[in-house]
């Protein structure tokens, strides 16, 4: 991050987009000039969600960690990750998603797009938190059918 900031300071860039959390962690929070609204730029899938992974069979670990689980965040993660599995999202695939939880309601917004922004498919789905995984999977299928599959095919051809 310091290298990118140095390039910005040297005039190599007119602007740069970096994670606020990263700047704060480095003690550089004063460098933040604006925060992009999610409506303008959806984050990567599960961006900012902290998790601990362990084998499902380890019920002892699950019991010890249960008091630390934040249910709304768990539902959001489940929805976003389910979408990512359907669209085969990775660090190389331009996919973003943001799930918002309000009580028992889940609102998932997501996109698949070309890196240069020339083509973007974006949509949202609403439902109950208990159906988070199904909401994510369904929205992923909807994005693929609406042109996301072609975007991903074009990207695969360009990198082959």
Q: What is the pLDDT of residue 115?
A: 86
Q: Which residues partner with 58 through β-bridges?
A: none
| Nearest by Cα to 120 from 47, 48, 41, 46 | 41
- pLDDT of amino acid 109: 97
pLDDT surpassing 70 at residue 54: yes
Is the pLDDT score of 91 beyond 80?
no
β pairing state of 105-113 and 120-128: antiparallel
Q: Residue 97 and residue 79: Cα distance in Å, rounded?
A: 9
Domains and CATH numbers, the chain: 1-35 (no CATH), 37-159 (3.30.160.40)
pTM score over 0.85: no
Arithmetic mean of pLDDT, 113-121: 91
Q: Which is nearest to 32 in space by CA: 5, 50, 11?
A: 5
Q: List pLDDT tens digits, range 77-86.
A: 999 999 999 9
């Amino acid at each position: 991050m310091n290298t990118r900031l140095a390039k910005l300071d040297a005039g190599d860039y007119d602007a740069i987009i970096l994670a606020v959390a990263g700047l704060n962690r480095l003690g550089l929070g004063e460098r933040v000039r604006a925060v992009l609204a999610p409506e303008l730029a959806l984050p990567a899938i599960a961006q900012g969600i902290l998790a601990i992974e362990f084998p499902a069979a380890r019920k002892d670990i699950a019991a010890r960690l249960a008091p630390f689980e934040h249910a709304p965040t768990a539902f959001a993660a489940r929805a976003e990750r389910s979408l990512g599995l359907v669209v085969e999202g990775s660090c190389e695939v331009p996919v973003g998603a943001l799930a918002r939880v309000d009580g028992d309601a889940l609102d998932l917004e997501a996109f698949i797009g070309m890196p240069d922004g020339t083509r973007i498919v974006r949509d949202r789905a609403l439902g109950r938190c208990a159906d988070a995984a199904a909401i994510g999977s369904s929205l992923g299928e909807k994005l693929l059918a609406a042109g996301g599959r072609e975007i991903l095919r074009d990207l695969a051809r360009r990198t082959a």
